[in-house]
Each structure stands twice: as C-alpha cells, then as structure tokens.
Structure 1
Amino acid sequence: MSAPLAPNAPLALSQHFASDNYAGICPEALKYMVEANGSGHEVAYGDDTWTQRVCDGLRKLFETDCEVFFVFNGTAANSLALASLSQSYHSVICHELAHVETDECGGPEFFSNGAKLLTARGREDNGKLTPEAIEAVIIRRSDIHFPKPKVITLTQSTEVGTVYTVDEVAAISAVAKRRNLRLHMDGARFANAVATLGVHPADITWRAGVDVLCFGGTKNGLPVGEAVVFFNRTLAEDFAYRVKQAGQLASKMRFISAPWLGMLENDVWLKNARHANAMAQLLASRIRDLPGVTIMFETQSNAVFAELPLHVIEALRARGWRFYTFIGAGGCRLMCAWDTTPETVEALAADIAALCKP
C-alpha cells in the first residue's frame, strides 16, 4: 500500500503504524518459546505440560474454572467460537464495523454452516453496539422465514479503537439473557481494553455476562496463537473437535501455548498493552491541534484514527510511513504496538506537522 520512497526519505524505518501485527515477539514470550524447545520431547496436540500450565494460568487470571483452547489466529478463534454458539439457521448480531463482518472473509458463516451475521449500526461516534440497536435487530422479524438471533458479539476494543465499559457490557448482557442469546467477545485487543479501563479482567468478561472470550495475544507480543476461553463451560462441549476439523489443532501445541507463560508472568500482557496505549495517547496529543487534522474517534486503546489532508497522506507514504486508510477519503488508522518507541511516534508526528503547515 506504500508509495515508493522519495529521494530524501528515511532509508530504513524499522517501525510502522499500519498494524500491531507488524511488531515482533516480545522478549518474555520468546524466552518461554525457547525454553519449550529445549525441554526435550513433549506429548503432542495440547496434552503437554506447557499447555496445561498456561490453561491453569488463565484460570487464575480470570478467577474462574474456564475451558481454554488455543488456535493459530483470531479469525479461527472468532469463527469457531461463534459456530459453537449457533446452528446453521441462527444469526449473530454484530456492529456493522465488527471484524467478524468486515475482515474475516465470511469465516463465521462458513464454520457455522451458514449462521448469518446481522449487522447493527450502533453509535456512529464510537463504533459500539448499544442495547437499543441490538433490540432493534432482534425484533425486526420473528417469523420462521428469518434466521433466529442466537448470539451477540462485541469487539473489545472496537474496530475504531474505543472500549466498552463494564456497565456497557453488562447492559448488553442483560439483553442477551432476557432474549436467551449468548454473548461472545472478540478480544483481539482485549489487553488494551483492560489497560484502559483499569479493571480486573474478570469484571469485563464473565462477571459482566460474557460467555466466551477470544483472548488475543498476537497483536500484543506473541508470535502466534489466540486463546478461546469458555467461561460457560457447557458451551465448550465438542469444541476440541471443531478445532481439529478446522485445521487449527497444532501438533506441537507447546510452541503456541508456552509463550503465553511469558505474557502472564508479572502481567506482561498488561504492561505491553499499557505501553501501546500510551504511545497512541502520545501520538494523538501531538497531532490533534495541527491544521487540517481531525481526530475521528476518542483514542481509548492503541489506535489513533485521524483524518488527514490527502496531500499529507501521499507525502507520508512517500517518506516511507505505512498505515491504513479506510474510513472515508482521508481517514487514517495509526496503530501503535507493544514495542512502539516514543522516538518513532515523535518522528511521525513531526512529519505530519511539517506537511500540515499552510
């Protein structure tokens, strides 16, 4: 997506703002991956000691006896989790900007054998579902010719970088319980949301009524692998078979699970998220008052959404900066990661400031 470097552009930009997936493995995660490799032979397919330790660690973190599974990526985590909560004749209610709707190539519908995603608009200023928006979808039709609503899915943090509060999740959970629906949370950036809220991870999940969480690690310093956490354990029945059938059961599971130990130890998962959030706050503070720049959504996690003049976007890319534009003509997503440095943020902000000068 980047334009060729201009002659006077930096020759080597080691960090970018297109995605937190660009970042490497954090040292703490890499340490345990190396240790797992040097530990000799281990039982395959998740029956190893490393995977058991991580599952126990996640149960301790969430303070509940949850069922935990590991898959390679977030699309598989969401798709298989939603498939476990619905039948082919059901529907899943999501925000119109939700990742499951816009960026998973129909995966949730494919793996559920056809359960339909029903989008709700929610609030335009923060990208969140509301109880009212969900109710509107539920009551739209109730006849047998229409897929029956069965699941609500929330993206935490949202696709525009905002964060659901505990009260907001609880209010949506109340709708789910009243309507006999399940509540799923796409937590690809769950750590960033917890860092923003400053709450216990249990308070924003099962204590607030979430049945299943897809706990993302790849965007927060892991090499690969997401955890699917069933707080309602009865819903996890046969989930292992779904994982296997979908080609998501790693034979050498310890290399997916062991790095999680580094994340859980000393709350590195939270430290990484706090740093990424802080870098986003720094970037937003540097550019929000520049001429021609508009911050499109409140910066609550590790993303800054800013509308920039088109000539600024083109010039930034010519200088080697990488970022996505997908909300309107000048809407840019500037994503910070666990390893984003203040120096990188200041360099980008300085370039934007220089290019925005009248």
Structure 2
Amino acid sequence: MFFASDNSGPVPPQVLAALTEANTGYAMGYGADAEMVEVTKRVREIFEAPEAAVHLVATGTAANVLALATLCQPFETIFCTPTAHIHEDECNAPEFYTGGAKLTLVPGLPGFDDKMTAANLRATIAKEETRGVHGPQRGPVSITQVTERGTIYSLAELQELTTVAKEFNLPVHMDGARFANALVALECSPAEMTWKSGIDALSFGGTKNGLMGVEAVIFFDPKKAWEFELRRKRGGHLFSKHRYLSAQMLAYLTDDLWRDNARKANENCAYLAEGLRRADAPFLHEPQANMIFAALPRATHQRLFEAGAAYHLWDGPLDGDPNEKIAARFVCDWAISRDQMDHFLALIA
C-alpha cells in the first residue's frame, strides 16, 4: 500500500537485465559508450527530431537546472508556477546553477496555481524589464507536464503558453518528470507535446516511471548541445561510467516500456480514484494522470497508517479531530497491485 511517490517503486526486470548486459567487459566513458549512440538514435526517432541533442543525467533536479542554466543568463528570471518543482522542491538549485537567475511566479486560475494561463503569463512577462539595468531581464518559461497537482496541460494550452513566450522571444523548457504519464493520457505523440507545440528543451523523466536513476535532457535546437556538455561537466553531473545510465534509458525506450509503465500507472490511479469516490472522498484536483489529492477523515488516515500504508498528508497534522477531513497525496506507479489497492480501499470503507 505504497502511495508516497512513484519514484519509490521497483525497477522493471528489463532494465535490470540491460544493466547486467552492459556490465560485461569494458566500454568508453563519459557518454562515448555504444548504448548512448543507440539512445540518441531512438530518442530522435521517437520525437521525430533528427537533429535533437540528447544528454543523460542521474536526477530530475540535475536535468531541470542544467537545462535552464543553458537557456538562461544569470541576470535573467525564469517564469514558472508557484507549485513548480524548480520553485518548491529543488533547494534553490536553479538559482545556484544559473549563477543567480531568479524565479518569477506566474499565477494560474484562482485556487489552481498548478497551471499557468496564457493571459497571466503574458501579464507577468510584461511586468519585467520595466526597470532597465536595475531589474531582472526576461528569461525562459518553464512548464511542468504533468503538474505537481496531477493535472495536465492540453496541447492547445501548451501552444497558447509557448505562443506568448515566443512573442517575447523567450525559450520554453518543459519539466517532464512525468512526461510519459501525460503523453498516454493525452494520446498524442512526443513531437506533438514538445517541439511541435513550441517546446525548446525537455527534461524527459525516467526515474518516476520505473528507472533506477536516469533522466534525459533533450534540446530540439542542437546549438545548445556543447554549452550543456560544459555545464554538465562543470556541475559534477557527467558520469564516467556513463554506460549504466545509457543502458537504463535504452531499455526504457525499447518495446515501448516507457509508455507501458506510464499507462499502467495511470490505470492504477484511475482504479484507486474510483474507489476513493465510492468512499465519498472529496478531490482537491481532478486526477488526470497518476496522482490523486483527496481528503479523508483523520481517523481513517490513522487507521491506514497503522495498517502500514505509505502516503503524504497535505494540509494538516495526523493528530486532532478524528472526524475532520484532511487532504493527502496518493501517487500510483506501474508496479502497485490491484490486491494492494483493494486492501487499501477496504481499510477506508
């Protein structure tokens, strides 16, 4: 009954087998391995982007901040939502790796700050560069897909946001830690959700979708490739035994494992959400991928935790009025079983 995070689950056997195979003999380091050549080829095919630059790092934070540092000058600001991972969960790493660039928060609709709107983005961008040399200059826009509240931007919404960014000649980064979950939910192609919608750089997540620890950074304009290489090395994120990153990503991209894992995670989430609805649990956000924000009575939370369930409370302590409903976050991965979910829902009932 583990719903704390989708980065806590097991690694698929195909990935472990690929690591074992890559562990045979010797290979060139620092990304010169044969597996990385194949990874680059497959990413370009999957994204219909024959010139795309592809790089691997071990963590999502590294992917985000190194990509943004490549797109952003230290005297610029990055536009993102108040709930963006780069704002709430990366310990000022964007500011550190960019050499001092700040973050400017773009509000969403009232009560829904997980998704920025085109109108609010335009207004927020327009407020910058009004103080000449004394204020921050306009920098990249960073969009999270799936958002930190489990919602998804439609293709039309993405295109509206990137159109605004392009009006100001600003690059657009996508934090795609759960990129695959959004893709299978929208039933679109990787190209449609990225460069065809105006995305310039993508953090292509793997760890939350079954990999042991690897993320890809994809620049659809290869002109940024060498600068990223330098920043990755200077930032301490260039692996010498790079083949172990490449082997994971190659297995991920083979036989649609990345899509299959995401589809399973989304289906598991839909199953859990239906059970929570039957228990009359109110939702803070409508689940659209593999995350649920729902409220349950404190007494129910206490019963679940005592039974060994793992998840995060969102807006209150465990102790207090047993009948008061407290929101929590439940995240489904590809591996959670129906038996585990049924046991969890039976405890709620």
Could you tell me the TM-score, scaled by structure 2's length? 0.94
Superposed, which structure 2 residues align to 1:1-358 within 5 Å? 15-38=1-24, 40-64=25-49, 65-123=51-109, 124-125=111-112, 127-141=114-128, 142-144=130-132, 145-291=134-280, 293-327=281-315, 330-353=326-349
**RMSD, aligned CA:** 1.3
Residue segments in structure 1 that go unaligned for 5+ positions in a row: 1-14, 354-358
CA contact (8 A) 1:126 1:160 kept: no
Secondary structure of 2:193's aligned partner = coil
CA contact (8 A) 1:128 1:158 kept: yes
CA contact (8 A) 1:67 1:229 kept: yes
The separation in 2 between residues aligned to 1:203 and 1:82, in whole angstroms, is: 21
How far did residue 110 of structure 1 move? 0.5
Question: How many pairs does the alignment contain?
Answer: 337
CA contact (8 A) 2:107 2:113 kept: no
Greater alpha carbon shift after TM alignment, 87-96 vs 341-350 = 341-350
How far did residue 339 of structure 1 move? 0.7
Q: Which amino acid aligns with 1:289?
A: R
Q: Which amino acid aligns with 2:43?
A: L
The separation in 1 between residues aligned to 2:230 and 2:299, in whole angstroms, is: 52
How far did residue 209 of structure 1 move? 0.4
The separation in 1 between residues aligned to 2:316 and 2:173, in whole angstroms, is: 29
Q: 1:349 to 1:294 in 2, by over 3 A?
A: same
Could you tell me the TM-score, scaled by structure 1's length? 0.92
The separation in 2 between residues aligned to 1:176 and 1:231, in whole angstroms, is: 16
Aligned-pair identity in percent equals 40
How far did residue 236 of structure 1 move? 2.6
How far did residue 327 of structure 1 move? 4.2
The separation in 1 between residues aligned to 2:187 and 2:202, in whole angstroms, is: 18
The separation in 2 between residues aligned to 1:33 and 1:316, in whole angstroms, is: 36
Secondary structure of 2:203's aligned partner = strand
Secondary structure of 1:252's aligned partner = coil
Greater alpha carbon shift after TM alignment, 260-269 vs 91-100 = 260-269
The separation in 2 between residues aligned to 1:17 and 1:118, in whole angstroms, is: 31
How far did residue 264 of structure 1 move? 1.1
CA contact (8 A) 1:79 1:108 kept: yes
The separation in 1 between residues aligned to 2:119 and 2:12, in whole angstroms, is: 41
The separation in 2 between residues aligned to 1:24 and 1:346, in whole angstroms, is: 20
